[in-house]
Structure 1
Amino acid sequence: MENNYSLSPTARFLKKHGMHSAALFYQSLNETLDRRAGRTTRFHLDHLNVPTYQEGQRLFVTFRDHIAANHNEDDVENYGCQVDWNGVCHLDATRFGKLAEKVENAQERYSMNLVRENARHMYHIPHHIRYAHGGWHHTVDFRKLFKQGLKGYQIEIQEGLMEETDEEKRQFLRGMEDTLIGLIDYVERYKAYLKTCLQEKSEDPCLKGLVEALERVPFEPPTHFYEAFIMHQASMYFGNAFETGRLDDLLYPYYEKDLVEGLITREEAKSLIRELFEDIEKRIGHPGAVHVTIGGTDASGQASYNALTLIIIEAIRGLRTPNVTLRVRKDMPKELWEALLENIGKGYGQPAIVNEELFLKGLVEQYHIPFEDAVDYVMGGCSEMLIQGKTMCDSTWVSYNMLEVFEDTFYNQFLNCDSFEAFYEAFKKDLHVTIQDMGRQINIRQHTEGLHMPTPLMSLLTGGCLENRKSVLGGGASYNFDSTDIYGSTNAINALYTVQEFYKGTFKGLQPEAFLESFATNYEGREEVLRKCQGILKFGNGGTELEHLAHEVMGFVFDEMKTLVGYRGNGQFTPAIIGWINWMINGEKIGATPDGRKAGEPLADSAGPMQGTDTQGPTATLGAALSIPQEDCLGTCIVNLRLDPRVFKTVEGRMKVEALLKTYFAEGGNQLQINVVDQERLEQALKEPDKHRDIIVRVGGFSDQFVCLDPSIQESIMQRIVHG
C-alpha cells in the first residue's frame, strides 16, 4: 500500500483516518474475503511486538509474553474500527459515529455506511437460543508441519499458484501466501531480537538454546527434541489453537534420538513438559479449553505408548488444566496403569480414560474415516473428538436439552395419551422434530461463519484447507464434525420411567390432571407425589426394564443425530454427553419434572446416574451407563465416577479398581472421569478455601480447583455418591 491511488475510495477514507487494518481489508471489494483477510493478517503480524525475553525462558512464547505482544499501529485516531486476525471487523458504533463530522462528500458518507453495515452483519449469526454455539475445536496439523516446516508450506502455495486456474481459488492461495509471509517475518524479527539479547546475556543457556532452535524451526523440520518442542509450542500459538494433540506420539522420536545421543535426560524432558502445562494453566481463563491426548495406537495398528506417555501422566499432577486423556488399549503396559491409579488415588482427577478399541471401530465403521487417520483421533476442549490436525469441530454446548424437550411433550401431550406407548411415541416425535430443527439451525450458523470469518492462520495450519482451497470455517478441513452435546439424558430417562409407572397404576387414586398439576406447581401441597417420584427406581441401580428403556431412547436420539448432515464440507454430527458446567445452567430453566427434581435444580452431570441417586455401588452405576449404546456416542460419552480414597490405600484395592475399569471398557464403556476425594476434606474446603486449593475435582469434561467452583457446582459434586 505505497500510494493512495492504488486503493479503493473506501480504503483511502479509512487510511486517512488511521484505520489501517480496515483500509487493507477494504482495498478492493472485488477480491474474495480470504484474499482480503490474508492481507490484514499479514499487517497484524508485521506490526506485532516481539515478546520481551526474560532470563530462564525456555518456551517460544509464554503467557506473560502473549499478553504483552500486541501493537498500537491500528486505529490510531481511535474511531473504533479494526479488522482482526480472523478477518472479522470489530466496530464501536459510538466512536465510529464521531467520524461523521469528518465526512467531506457523498462518496465518503457511502464508505462510512458501508463499513458500519458490513460490521453489523458480520456479527449477526441467526440461530435459536435453544441451540446456542459453544465454540470451535481444532488442532494444528502437527505432522505436516513437522515434516516440511513453514518453508514447505511456501513451496506448496507457490506450486498451487502455478497450477491453479480458478480465480477464486487463486485468491485463497494469495491470502494464505500473505499470511505465511507475515508469520515467517514475525519469527525472523523475534529471532533477531533474541540474538541482540544474546550479545548481552551470552552466558544464559536457555537464551542460547532458544536462539539455536529458532535457526531451524519453525522454518525447517526439527531434528532434536527441543526443536520439536519449540515447533510444537509455536504452532499452537500461531494456529490460535492451544490444543496439544498427541503430545507423546509427536515428540517421542526426537526424545528417543536425543536420549541415545546424550543430548537430553528424562528429567529435562519432564521439566519442559511441566513448564508447558503450567503456562497453559496460566494462559487459559477457564479450564476445559485445552486438551492433551496420549497413548493409543499407531498407523500400523500397534500400541503407541512410550516413555513420554508416562512422563506426561506424572507432569500433570496437581494442575487443573490442560485436560489429559489417556487412550486405553487392552494391552496398555502395567506401569501406565500404576501411574494412572496413583494420579487418580491422590485426587488429581487426571487423566481421564477412553476406550481405544471402541473409538477406532466407530470412526472407521460409522464415520468411514481411513484407519491411518482414525488412529490420530484426539480430544479437544472438554472432550470433543477430533482427527488431529485435520478437523474443524463445532461444539453445540448448551444446545440439546432432552429434559427440556420432555417437559414440553409432557405438558402438551400427557393428557391426550391413554397409554405409556402413546406418550412415548409422542416424545419420540418431538425428539425427531427438535433434532432436525437443531441441525438446520447449526447449518445456518456454519454457513454464516463461512461467509464472514475467513480465519487465515487457522486455515493455513489445518489439514485440507490448502488442498481444498477453502478456509477452515468455509469447509476446507479434511473432516468437519459437530460435537452435539446432549444434556438431561439421565433425567429424561428417569422421568420417562416415572410416567410409565404412572400408567401402570403406581400412583393409585391420582388422576392425570392432578399428576400434571403436581409439577406445574413445583409439588406445592403435593409432597406425597414428590416422595413417590423420588422413591421410584432410578437409573444407576439396576432394573432390566429401566435400562432397556434407557438403551432404546438414547439409541433413538443418537441415530437421529447421525442422520444430520453438516454444512461444512463432509460435515458429520458426533453425538456427545459431556456436560461442562451447563448441567447446572440447563437445570435452572426447567420446572419440576417426574424424575423427582424440583424447579431449577441441576441435571445429571454426565451420562451416568443423577448425583446422589446411585446407591447400589460402582458396578450397578457402570452397568446402568452400559445400557446406553455408547458406541454410537463418539462425541464423547462421559461418565463421572466418585470413588472412596480408602480403596487406593492397598494393592488389593487398586487392583480391584483396575479390574473395574478394564471390565467397563470391555463391555462397551466409552470414557470415564474419576474423582477420588474425601467428603470431609470437601467440607473443610468450603469452610477454609485458602487452605485447600490443592483439591482438584473432575467437573464435566474438565478438572478445576474445588474451591474455585461456583457454590452450586460444589454442592452438586458433593452430592455424588462415594463408591467403595
Structure 2
Amino acid sequence: MIARGFSNPTERIEKLKRVILDATPYVESERAVLVTEAYKETEGLSPILRRAKAAEKIFNNLPVTIRDNELIVGAITKNPRSTEICPEFSFDWVEKEFDTMGSRIADPFQIPKQTAQELHDAFLYWPGKTTSDLATSYMSQEAKDCMGAGVFTVGNYFYGGVGHVSVDYGKILEKGFRGIITEVVEAMEKMDRCDSDYIKKQQFYNAIIITYTAAINFAHRYAEKAMELASAEMNSARKGELLQIARNCSKVPENGATNFYEACQSFWFLQCMLQIESSGHSISPGRFDQYMYPYYKNDPSITKEFAQELIDCIFIKLNDVNKTRDEISAQAFAGYAVFQNLCVGGQDEEGMDATNDVSYMCMETVAHVKLPAPSFSIRVWQGTPDEFMFRACEVTRLGLGVPAMYNDEVIIPALVNRGVTLNDARNYCIIGCVEPQCPHKTEGWHDAAFFNVAKVLEITLNNGKAGNQQLGPVTGDITTFSCIDDFFTAFTKQIKYFVHYLAEADNSVDIAHAERCPLPFLSALVDDCIGRGKSVQEGGAIYNFTGPQAFGVADSGDSMYAIQKNVFEDKTMTLTELKNALDANFGQPVGGKNTLSIDTNEMTTEMKVYEVVKKILSTNGSIDLSKLSDEVLGMGSVQNTCGANEYLKIQGLLNRTPAFGNDIDEVDMMARKCAQIYCKEVEKYTNPRGGQFQAGIYPVSANVLFGKDVAALPDGRLATMPLADGVSPRAGKDVNGPTAAANSVAKLDHFSASNGTLYNQKFLPAALEGDKGLQTFAALVRSFFDHKGMHVQFNVIDKKTLLAAQKDPDKYRDLVVRVAGYSAQFTVLAKEVQDDIISRTEQSF
C-alpha cells in the first residue's frame, strides 16, 4: 500500500483553528496612530532614521495579545484575523471606504466608528507625504492613462509596503537579534570616515540598532504578559504553558535558539515583526524545513508529537495575519490572501536531495489545520523520493489546493540564466504566489504589476484605441491585414509601447519607496545590506529584480489561432465580418447576461437570431444555412451587419476552433508566441536598484477583475467575462484530458518567464481514489515536469460541492479551494471568483 493517511489534530489545534474560522476581520487603528506620532516627532531626521523611530514606537507600544490555548505567541492585532493600517504608504482609499468596507463584495472588514475616527485624525497628517503620492508625481500622464484603461496596474507596491521577500530566518535562529546588532557594530567599526557614503551608511547602521533594540523589547513585553497571565491562571497545565512561554520570550529572538520550541517561537516573532514594520504582503517563510530541521534533529528533549503540535500552531498563526486593500485590489486578491509561501523538499546547494523529517511533518500539519495559509509548496526534481511525491499527492487529495508543485529542472537553470549562481539557484524558495528566488539574498519585487495581454490584443484589434481613446500607437486597421503576421507585427508594437510605461510606473514606485520608506528591520536580514551599508530599497540585496506578471495569454493565443484558422486558412469569414461581430459582442449584452433570461419583448432581432442559432448548434453541432430562414421566420431581416452569417461563424469559433490546452502544436505555439513577445520585451528594462526586469505569467484572481476591462475577443469570449488564469487554458476549453492540457502548458517557454508561471488543474475526487489513482496522479506531475513545465497546482473537488457551498455558505465555512497562487475559504470569495473556479474543467483519467 502506498497511501497511509493522516493522524488527527489535537484538541488544542481544533480550538485554535475554530478561532480563525469564526473570526470577523476588523480594521484596527493602533499602528496608524503610533506611526503618525513617530513621524510628527521626527520631522528633522533622515528617512531611514524616521523609519527606525517609527518601528521603535510601534514595537514598544503596540498592544500585546496572547490568545487562549496558544503555545506560540505574538500578534499584529488585538482581534484575530484582523488588520492594521499603514498610512505612510497610502491612506485616502481607507477613508473613502469607512462606510463600505464592511459590505463590499470581496474581503470585507468591519471598521467601528471609534476606529474610523482615530484613523481619520491620523490621516490628517499624511496628504502629500506617502510613497504613493511621491510615486504618482514621478509618473507620466501616459502611464496613468494606461492604468486607467486597464492595461496594467502597479497597485501592489503603489498602495502598500514592499514585500515578496524571504529573509534569513536561519541566521536569527542561530544568532538572535543580538547577533544582528553585533554584526552592525562591527561593520561600523570598519567604516572609513573618508568614504563618500560614510554618513548614509552610519545612518543606516544606527537605524538597524534602534529597530532591533526595540524588537527585543517587543518580545520581552510578551514574556511579561505571559507571566501576568500565569499569575492569575487557575489551571495548572495552562499555568505551566504560560510560564514556559515567558521563558521562551525572554530568551528568543534576542538570543539564538537552543531547542526546537525556542526555534519555533523565534521564527514566529520574526515573521510577525516583518509584517508590523511594513504592510508588504508575501513575506514568505521560504525553505522552512531546511532551517528548522537542525533544531528538531538536535533536540533530545522533544517528542515528535509535541514538535508536530508546535508546527501546527505556527501554521494557524500564519492564518492570523491579514491585510486590507482598496475595493478594486481586494477583488484581484480575493480571499483575504497574504501569500506567505512556505516551501519544503527539493535540492540543497550541492545538488543533493534535501527532504527531511520536517518536510513530512509540514504535510501532516496541512492535513491537521486545513486552513488557507500558508501557501504551502513543494519542490520536485528527478531525485525526489517517491515516498515524498506520493505523500504530497495524498495531501492534494484532501482538496485544499496544496501543495503547489515546482520543478527544479526548469527553475534552477532559469535563475542561473538571470545571473544567480548555481549554488544560490539550487537553494531557491517560492515567494508569494509562484515566484522563485534565492532566499535572503534577493529583492525580487515580484508581483510588481498585473499586465493584461488580452487587453493589449483588444487594443491591437482597434488600431491602438481603447474605447474612443487613442491609447496606444496606430498600428493599422485590421480589416486591411493580409496574414496573421500582420496581426503579430501590430500586437508586438502595442506590447512594446505598453511595457515601456509599465516599467516607468514600476520604477516610479520603486524610487518612492527608496526615498520615503526604507525598511531597516527587513534589510538587516537580506544579504548583503549590512555589508553594503544600504537598505534593500536602495539596492542593498545581492540580487535585484522587478517582476511584473501577465495574464490573458491563452485568450490571446486562442484568438490569434482563431483568426489564422477561420479567416486565412478556411476563409469561412472575412476580417470585416469578424470585426463587426466583435464590436457587437456577438449580439450579446455587455456583461455576459444570458439573453435566454431576458423577456422576448426586450430582445433585439439580432439577439433572437443568435439564440436560435445557439440552440441549433447546441443540439446538432452544425447548421444548414438554407434552413435558417425557416427557423427565424417572423423575426425580421437576418442579413444585417450582425446577422445570422456572423453569428454562425462566431459560433464556429466557440464550438469548433481548436483551443490551447488540447496538445495541438499549431494552437499551442500561438499562445507560446504571445507569451514570449511579452516576456522578451519586459527583460529589456532595468530598475533603480541596478537589477533586471523579469516576466512572470500568473494572475492571482485578477483574470476575473481585469476581464471586466476587455471587450469581446476572436476566440469567442464575450466582453467583460473572466480571462484564462495564469498559463492555464480557458475554462472548459481543455477537453482532451489532463495529460493533453498539461502538455500544452509545458510547451510555453517557462525558462523565459523566470518570475514564475501558474498552472491550475481541477480534478474530480473520484479520479484520484485509491493507490492506483495516487500513482496515476503522481505520474501526471512527473510527466508534466519532464516536459519542462514549471509549476502546477490542483483543486480536487466536484462542481456539486461548490454549488452547494454557494447556496448554503454557513455549512461550508471550512471549505478551502485553490484560487490562483494561493488557497482561500471558498465562502469568503466574491461570487464572480467562485463562479470562475466552478467553471474550470473537471478532469479525470
With the length of structure 1 as denominator, give the TM-score of the two structures.
0.86
Look up the SS of the partner of 2:695 in the other structure: strand
Residues of 2 paired with 1:68 and 1:542: CA distance?
43
Instruction: Check 1:673–1:55 CA distance in 2 against 1; reply closer, same or farther (3 A cut).
Output: closer
- Residue 593 of structure 1 deviates from its aligned partner by 0.6
Look up the SS of the partner of 1:40 in the other structure: helix
Look up the SS of the partner of 2:716 in the other structure: coil
Instruction: Check 1:373–1:157 CA distance in 2 against 1; reply closer, same or farther (3 A cut).
Output: same
Over residues 412-438 of structure 1, what are the superposed CA-to-partner deviations in whole Å (9 max), with x where a residue is unaligned? 131342222222222122222222332
Which moved further from structure 2: 116-125 or 684-693? Answer: 116-125
Residues of 2 paired with 1:93 and 1:586: CA distance?
22
Corresponding residue for residue 519 of structure 1? 582
Corresponding residue for residue 722 of structure 1? 842
Corresponding residue for residue 404 of structure 1? 455
Match for 1:34 among 48, 52, 64? 48
Over residues 367-416 of structure 1, what are the superposed CA-to-partner deviations in whole Å (9 max), with x where a residue is unaligned? 12123322332222222333222333324465311111111111113134
Partner amino acid, structure 1, of 2:177: L
Look up the SS of the partner of 1:185 in the other structure: helix
Residues of 2 paired with 1:160 and 1:89: CA distance?
34
Corresponding residue for residue 153 of structure 2? 131
Corresponding residue for residue 524 of structure 2? 460
Match for 1:252 among 279, 285, 293? 293
Instruction: Check 1:120–1:47 CA distance in 2 against 1; reply closer, same or farther (3 A cut).
Output: closer
Which moved further from structure 2: 456-465 or 317-326? Answer: 456-465
- Residue 604 of structure 1 deviates from its aligned partner by 0.3
Corresponding residue for residue 350 of structure 2? 300
Corresponding residue for residue 41 of structure 2? 24
Partner amino acid, structure 1, of 2:289: D
The structure showing larger relative contact order (alpha-carbon pairs under 8 Å, at least 6 residues apart) is 2
- Residue 200 of structure 1 deviates from its aligned partner by 4.9
Partner amino acid, structure 2, of 1:673: Q
Look up the SS of the partner of 2:436 in the other structure: strand
Instruction: Check 1:430–1:693 CA distance in 2 against 1; reply closer, same or farther (3 A cut).
Output: same
Residues of 2 paired with 1:651 and 1:122: CA distance?
53
- Residue 70 of structure 1 deviates from its aligned partner by 11
Query: Percent of counterpart pairs with the same letter?
Result: 24
Residues of 2 paired with 1:657 and 1:394: CA distance?
34
Over residues 420-458 of structure 1, what are the superposed CA-to-partner deviations in whole Å (9 max), with x where a residue is unaligned? 222222212222222233222211221122111123322
Look up the SS of the partner of 1:209 in the other structure: helix
Instruction: Check 1:425–1:53 CA distance in 2 against 1; reply closer, same or farther (3 A cut).
Output: closer
Match for 1:214 among 223, 244, 249? 249
Corresponding residue for residue 175 of structure 2? 148
Question: Is 1:442 the counterpart of 2:477 in the alignment?
Answer: no
How many residues align structurally? 666
Residues of 1 paired with 2:649 and 2:266: CA distance?
62
Corresponding residue for residue 97 of structure 1? none
Over residues 605-647 of structure 1, what are the superposed CA-to-partner deviations in whole Å (9 max), with x where a residue is unaligned? 1202100011111111011111101122222111111122122
Instruction: Please say if residues 443 and 536 of structure 2, whose CA atoms lie closer than 8 Å, have aligned partners that are also in contact.
Output: yes
Corresponding residue for residue 120 of structure 2? none
Which moved further from structure 2: 602-611 or 315-324? Answer: 315-324
What pairs with 1:192-203 in structure 2 (closer than 5 Å)? 192-201=224-233
Over residues 197-254 of structure 1, what are the superposed CA-to-partner deviations in whole Å (9 max), with x where a residue is unaligned? 4455576222222222234321222111011111110011112275222111111111
Corresponding residue for residue 424 of structure 1? 488
Corresponding residue for residue 233 of structure 1? 268
Over residues 178-202 of structure 1, what are the superposed CA-to-partner deviations in whole Å (9 max), with x where a residue is unaligned? 1122222333343344345445557
Corresponding residue for residue 528 of structure 1? 648
Question: Is 1:57 the counterpart of 2:70 in the alignment?
Answer: yes
Look up the SS of the partner of 2:343 in the other structure: strand
What pairs with 1:269-308 in structure 2 (closer than 5 Å)? 269-284=307-322, 286-308=336-358
Corresponding residue for residue 306 of structure 2? 268
Residues of 1 paired with 2:83 and 2:734: CA distance?
51
Partner amino acid, structure 1, of 2:255: E
Corresponding residue for residue 179 of structure 1? 211
Over residues 114-150 of structure 1, what are the superposed CA-to-partner deviations in whole Å (9 max), with x where a residue is unaligned? 9777526763422532332324311232122223211
Partner amino acid, structure 1, of 2:243: K
Question: Is 1:46 the counterpart of 2:46 in the alignment?
Answer: no
Match for 1:644 among 756, 760, 764? 764
Instruction: Please say if residues 523 and 529 of structure 1, whose CA atoms lie closer than 8 Å, have aligned partners that are also in contact.
Output: no
Residues of 2 paired with 1:372 and 1:482: CA distance?
22
What pairs with 1:94-109 in structure 2 (closer than 5 Å)? none
Residues of 1 paired with 2:265 and 2:661: CA distance?
47
Corresponding residue for residue 5 of structure 1? none
Question: Is 1:374 the counterpart of 2:437 in the alignment?
Answer: no
Question: Is 1:338 the counterpart of 2:383 in the alignment?
Answer: no
Corresponding residue for residue 349 of structure 1? 401
Residues of 1 paired with 2:89 and 2:718: CA distance?
44
Corresponding residue for residue 599 of structure 2? none
Residues of 2 paired with 1:444 and 1:542: CA distance?
41
Partner amino acid, structure 2, of 1:351: P
Corresponding residue for residue 119 of structure 1? 129
Residues of 2 paired with 1:552 and 1:189: CA distance?
57
Residues of 2 paired with 1:688 and 1:120: CA distance?
43
Residues of 2 paired with 1:689 and 1:187: CA distance?
39
Corresponding residue for residue 413 of structure 2? 361
Over residues 324-344 of structure 1, what are the superposed CA-to-partner deviations in whole Å (9 max), with x where a residue is unaligned? 010012222222222212222
- Residue 707 of structure 1 deviates from its aligned partner by 2.7
Aligned-residue Cα RMSD (Å) equals: 2.8
Instruction: Please say if residues 374 and 387 of structure 1, whose CA atoms lie closer than 8 Å, have aligned partners that are also in contact.
Output: yes
Look up the SS of the partner of 2:155 in the other structure: coil
Match for 2:545 among 470, 481, 492? 481
Corresponding residue for residue 12 of structure 2? none
Instruction: Please say if residues 246 and 378 of structure 1, whose CA atoms lie closer than 8 Å, have aligned partners that are also in contact.
Output: yes
Corresponding residue for residue 686 of structure 2? 565
Instruction: Please say if residues 518 and 529 of structure 1, whose CA atoms lie closer than 8 Å, have aligned partners that are also in contact.
Output: no
Residues of 2 paired with 1:69 and 1:503: CA distance?
54
Instruction: Please say if residues 131 and 512 of structure 2, whose CA atoms lie closer than 8 Å, have aligned partners that are also in contact.
Output: no
Corresponding residue for residue 15 of structure 1? none
Instruction: Check 1:671–1:220 CA distance in 2 against 1; reply closer, same or farther (3 A cut).
Output: same
Instruction: Please say if residues 546 and 687 of structure 2, whose CA atoms lie closer than 8 Å, have aligned partners that are also in contact.
Output: yes
Residues of 2 paired with 1:137 and 1:291: CA distance?
9
Partner amino acid, structure 2, of 1:245: G
What pairs with 1:381-400 in structure 2 (closer than 5 Å)? 381-396=432-447, 399-400=450-451
Which moved further from structure 2: 321-330 or 339-348? Answer: 339-348
Over residues 682-706 of structure 1, what are the superposed CA-to-partner deviations in whole Å (9 max), with x where a residue is unaligned? 2322333222334322111111222
Residues of 1 paired with 2:230 and 2:432: CA distance?
37
Corresponding residue for residue 717 of structure 2? 597
Instruction: Please say if residues 550 and 627 of structure 1, whose CA atoms lie closer than 8 Å, have aligned partners that are also in contact.
Output: no
Over residues 230-287 of structure 1, what are the superposed CA-to-partner deviations in whole Å (9 max), with x where a residue is unaligned? 11100111122752221111111111112xx2x1122212211112212222332513
Residues of 1 paired with 2:831 and 2:88: CA distance?
39
